[in-house]
A and B are shown apart, each in its own frame.
Chain A
Amino acid sequence: MTALLEVDGIAVSFDGFRAINNLSFSIGAAELRAVIGPNGAGKTTFMDIVTGKTRPDSGDVKFGESSKSLLRMNEAQIARAGIGRKFQRPTVFEDQSVAANLTMALKASRGPFAVLFWKPTAASEARVAELAAEVGLADHTHRKAGKLSHGQKQWLEIGMLLAQEPRLLLVDEPAAGMTLAEREQTTALLVRLAQTRAVVVVEHDMDFVRRLDCKVTVLHQGSVLAEGSLDHVTRNPDVIEVYLGR
């Protein structure tokens, strides 16, 4: 199995502080992966680098079959290449309806002129309705996103990610602020998504990670400390020291 995303020896520092230090990471085309690590381990910075928000000082990030380097692309190009990202806090366009939010995320040509002459079709409307139903917002399509509850916004954002049809999904702490029932729903969704694409979940919550039942990467001080099944890494003395010791 060739890797979909290959991160090779990246390093980045902010004013002398090394946030990422010689980090290497790879994930297959249809795989679920949890990334855990204490605060400041570089989880968010890692996602920033993959999505083009932050440029690494050294190293390379390759994506797709042709192993295209992502470092020369901007955020929008990376997103179009098939990498979707879900932020920690729900970021939806609050001034616009749920349907408009989803329509914007639908996979379609992104150029200004293509968008200007884009017309809704029966197919596009059906897809929006389908997505809304999938994330439990079927009755809310005409409400403004700003009027949704916190959890509903989380779901709307997940719906938007699905609409984008990414090949790699980066999810930052999806369980934060969710009820127990919602968490289970989320877990099921992530596991299902990982059957057809790569999903990277950054999470603090060990219970949630256990429920995902997947390979785990532990980050510490900007590099990979351990990798394997959850049981394997929790037995690793280094991990125990980092999480419990000191």
Chain B
Amino acid sequence: MTRQPFILRNPSALVVLALLAAFTLAVTLMSAAYGSGVIPTSTVKVLGKTLCLALAALAMDLVWGYLGILSLGQMAFFALGGYMIGQWLMYARTEAIVAASLSGNPIPPTAQELREAVANQIFGVVGSADLPLVWSFAHSLTAQLVLVVVVPGLLALVFGWLAFRSRVNGVYLSILTQAMTLALALWLFQNDSGFRGNNGLSGLQNIPGLDGVGQARLSIWFLWASAAALALFYVLAAWVVGGKFGSVIRAIRDDETRVRFLGYPVEGFKLAVFTLAAMITAIAGALYYPQAGIINPAELMPIASIYLAVWVAIGGRGRLYGVMIGAIVVSLLSSWFTGGRAPSIHLPGYTVNWVDWWQVALGLCFVLVTLFAPKGIAGIFDRLAGILPPRRHGRDLGPDQGALQEQEAKA
């Protein structure tokens, strides 16, 4: 908290930005559309999606690593962002298709007819032919882009206000966030919620108006967009947690009561960070799902958010670059192992097939990380940089659990 320029205070930001740029450039030069074609389009998409997950992990780190709220519903915002952009993608594309097919008629369709035909096309699968109210803005890209941040932001604001106001914290709050995403998922699963029930939204990889571009180039464009968003929000997050604000939220994480007695409106800070993180997560989702091509309510089930927590924990929470590494490494490893491409291990009498055993290995790894490396992968960097955590033995000194303990305090 000195009056140095931002970059000098955050040397890691420069490294991260440089690495990100180098990575994006390398992938572009090896892609099918702009380079040698060593990396197939499907892999480019996986890499682009991974960057979006890293962005979600970044937001999770703000909430968990810095503010200390283990939100088990973070992916609800991610999926909501995806749904919001998906509405436009699906509507605009269906409209183009329907308009093309109706133009064969002797009489050109009225706007009303066009709308009805689009609604029928989109909602026929759930036995409805009317455009639900929640699709009122689906025709407008601008409106849906605004909704990408507004809807999850509002949800976070309302939910957070209710939860923080009544001073729900710790595991209670975690369970409550989990309930929130479950409720949302169950609601979306219904056919009459207006989001096509368990069919979800599909065909999102086709960007309306860009039919001639082709997936090879689109995938690279999305990679750039994802990398740019990640870079932008990394800098934003580093700025937020670097100053006095970061100091206050870490203080809230460590001893909320004390921060109150300093006169800070703790709830306001929590709400600000929670909502900001929700919006960042939603933007990550809005970039992710056009690359994935499909979104359905299963994406909101609590398990997805818990996986996000796993990545953040393995990466090392409280370190912005750590959680990005965690998300990238673990999600890529997961897709490699569960994709069936990892070689099986032949033991006498049993063959370990990674498709079956990866989850078991991941679960156990996760337990081991929690037990022995609570700082995760970032802990390795810390050790290299010589930042050693105090050793904790003896009784807590502070009034709250987790405060420094007797022996380390003497050090």
Contact = CB atoms under 8 A, between A and B. Distances in A.
Interface string B258-285: 1011111110110110000000000000
A52 B271 CA distance: 21
A35 to B, nearest CB: 18
Interface residues of A, number: 44
B390 interface: yes
Interface in A133-164: 146-150, 153, 160, 164
Contacts of B408: 146
A234 B244 CA distance: 48
Given A87-B399, A111-B268, A149-B409, A79 B263 contact: yes
B399 A89 contact: yes
Interface stretch (B249-257, B309-317, B320-328): B249-257
Interface string B220-253: 0000000000000000000010011101101100
Nearest to B272: A112
Given A89-B399, A116-B245, A76 B260 contact: yes
A205 interface: no
Question: Which of A75, A84, A97 has the most C-beta atoms of chain B within 10 angstroms of its own C-beta?
Answer: A75
Question: Which of A94, A113, A147, A149 has the most C-beta atoms of chain B within 10 angstroms of its own C-beta?
Answer: A94
Question: Which of A53, A93, A121, A125 has the most C-beta atoms of chain B within 10 angstroms of its own C-beta?
Answer: A93
Interface string A79-123: 110001101011101111101100111000011110110111110
Interface residues of B, number: 36
Given A91-B255, A93-B250, A115 B397 contact: no
A112 B250 contact: no
B403 A95 contact: no
A75 B265 CA distance: 9
Given A91-B399, A146-B390, A110 B2 contact: no
A98 to B, nearest CB: 11
A103 B265 contact: no
Nearest to A88: B399
B111 interface: no
Nearest to B258: A91
Contacts of B410: 149
B399 A110 contact: no
B2 A120 contact: yes
A115 B245 contact: yes
A67 interface: no
B403 A116 contact: no
B145 interface: no
A95 B244 contact: no
B397 A150 contact: yes
B373 to A, nearest CB: 18
B398 interface: yes
Contacts of A94: 254, 398, 403-404
Nearest to B318: A95
B3 to A, nearest CB: 5
A51 B262 CA distance: 11
Contacts of B385: none
A89 B251 contact: no
A110 B1 contact: no
B170 to A, nearest CB: 18
Nearest to A53: B257
Contacts of B258: 87, 91, 93
Contacts of B269: 112, 115
A91 B257 CA distance: 10
Interface string B108-144: 0000000000000000000000000000000000000
A193 B3 CA distance: 31
Contacts of B399: 87, 89, 91
B360 interface: no
A74 interface: yes
Contacts of B398: 89-91, 94
Contacts of A77: 263, 265
B411 interface: yes
A119 B245 CA distance: 10
Contacts of A74: 260
B262 A104 contact: yes
Given A93-B250, A115-B248, A75 B3 contact: no
A147 B390 contact: yes
Nearest to B247: A100
Contacts of A148: 409
Given A91-B398, A112-B271, A146-B390, 19 more contacts: A75-B261, A76-B261, A77-B265, A79-B261, A79-B262, A89-B398, A93-B247, A93-B254, A96-B247, A96-B251, A100-B1, A105-B262, A110-B262, A112-B272, A116-B240, A118-B245, A119-B243, A125-B2, A150-B397
7 A-B pairs with least C-beta separation = A79-B263, A75-B260, A80-B263, A112-B272, A116-B245, A93-B251, A146-B404
17 contacts: A51-B261, A75-B261, A76-B266, A85-B261, A89-B398, A89-B399, A95-B250, A96-B250, A97-B1, A100-B247, A115-B269, A116-B272, A118-B245, A120-B244, A147-B411, A148-B409, A164-B262
